[in-house]
């Protein structure tokens, strides 16, 4: 494996994060429950991790602010445009796969 400086590692991780967020914004057809059922995390998890990282560095960030960073718009707007009611099958899969945290 290549050796990176700490600065390079952080830059590469930040670039990968930005690309992930961009991809999730482009794929609004993929519902959060689908992400949770397949990968064990969703857009809301990502926004929570972002907020936790900011708070660990002494920066106050509300849940709404961190969600807007991930969704690219206020969460309520994203929900109104893209979120569908979960099917019974999706809900059942979530009950089986939901994280324990």
Q: How far apart are alpha carbons 62 and 69 in whole angstroms?
A: 11
Q: How far apart are alpha carbons 30 and 41 in whole angstroms?
A: 13
Q: Which residues contact 34 (CB under 8 A, 6 or more apart)?
A: 90
For residue 93, what pLDDT is reported? 81
Q: Which of 31, 28, 24, 33 is nearest to 97 (CA)?
A: 33
Q: Within its chain, how far is the Cα of 63 from the centroid?
A: 12
Quick one: 3 exposed, middle or buried, by C-beta within 10 A (0-12, 13-18, 19+)?
A: exposed
For residue 87, what pLDDT is reported? 84
For residue 1, what pLDDT is reported? 74
pTM metric for this prediction: 0.85
User: pLDDT per residue over 3-55, tens digit each?
Assistant: 999 999 999 999 999 999 999 999 999 999 999 999 999 999 999 999 999 99
User: pLDDT per residue over 56-96, tens digit each?
Assistant: 999 999 999 999 999 999 999 999 999 888 888 888 888 88
């Amino acid at each position: 494996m290549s050796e990176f400086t700490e600065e390079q590692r952080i830059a590469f991780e930040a670039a990968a994060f930005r690309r992930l967020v961009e991809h999730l914004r482009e794929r609004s057809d993929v519902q959060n429950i689908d992400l949770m059922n397949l990968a064990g995390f969703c857009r809301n998890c990502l926004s929570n991790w972002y907020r936790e990282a900011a708070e660990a560095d002494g920066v106050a960030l509300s849940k709404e602010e961190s969600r807007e960073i991930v969704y690219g718009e206020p969460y309520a707007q994203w929900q109104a445009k893209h979120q569908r009611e979960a099917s019974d099958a999706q809900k059942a899969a979530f009950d089986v796969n939901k994280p324990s945290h």
